[in-house]
Amino acid sequence: MGIRGYLSDRTIVLGRLSRHGVRRCGGAARSFAGAELRMIGAADARTVVDHALEHARRNGFPPMTVAVLDAAGSLLAYQREDGSSLLRERIARGKAMGALNLGVGSRSLASRAADHPHFVAALIELSGGGLVPVPGGVLVRRGEAIVGAVGVSGHEPDADEQCAVAAIEHAGLTADPGA
């Protein structure tokens, strides 16, 4: 017997395997806690990207790059504005992926990097360089559940984070930048 996950209507459903497949309880697949883990949808992801860039333009920020990942780390929406440097795509995704991988906003990762630089260096190595421990990677929550993450790059880290938070909240979701 093992554990099996499958994707259903942008929902990760986990269950225990028996000889006959995923056990069902009352006709619904259950996770370990008895709840489904929802992911951010494509429409919300696109809204977040558009609003993050709109926020940057209103505030006179330089060209920005925005990446939205679902809870499984898959890229749902992305845009690099004209004039944004080529490395910004990897930075934005690294901020978002770091937040997802550790379950905290990248602001928290930045403070951990200051307090425990060897540990964070090891995490960066383990991720193949795909973790960027500076503000601008913000978890997206629906209730208490993490449904995705947004990474923004192009300006100072605090301004990047400001764009992500404003866009997530505009989409009616909860932003968690870390403490």
Count other Cβ atoms within 10 Å, centred on residue 151.
32
Tokens representing 26? 């009352």
Q: What is the rounded CA–CA span in Å between residue 49 and residue 45?
A: 6
Choose the most confident range, by mean pLDDT, from 9-13, 66-70, 142-146.
Answer: 66-70
Q: What is the pLDDT of residues 7-40, one digit of tens each?
A: 434 444 333 333 333 333 333 333 334 344 479 9
Q: What is the pLDDT of residues 71-130, one digit of tens each?
A: 999 999 999 999 999 999 999 999 999 999 999 999 999 999 999 999 999 999 999 988
Q: What is the rounded CA–CA span in Å between residue 107 and residue 40?
A: 21
Q: What is the rounded CA–CA span in Å between residue 33 and residue 109?
A: 27
Residue 126 main-chain phi, psi, to 5 deg: -60, -30
Tokens representing 123? 């995490």
Put residue 103 in one of left, alpha, beta given phi > 0 → left and psi -120 to 50 → alpha: left
Q: What is the structure's pLDDT at 179?
A: 84
Q: Which amino acid is at 131?
A: L
Q: What is the structure's pLDDT at 129?
A: 87
Question: The whole model's pTM is what?
Answer: 0.79
SS3 for 151-168 is EEECCCHHHHHHHHHHHH
Percent helix, strand and coil across the chain, each to the nearest 5: 35, 30, 35
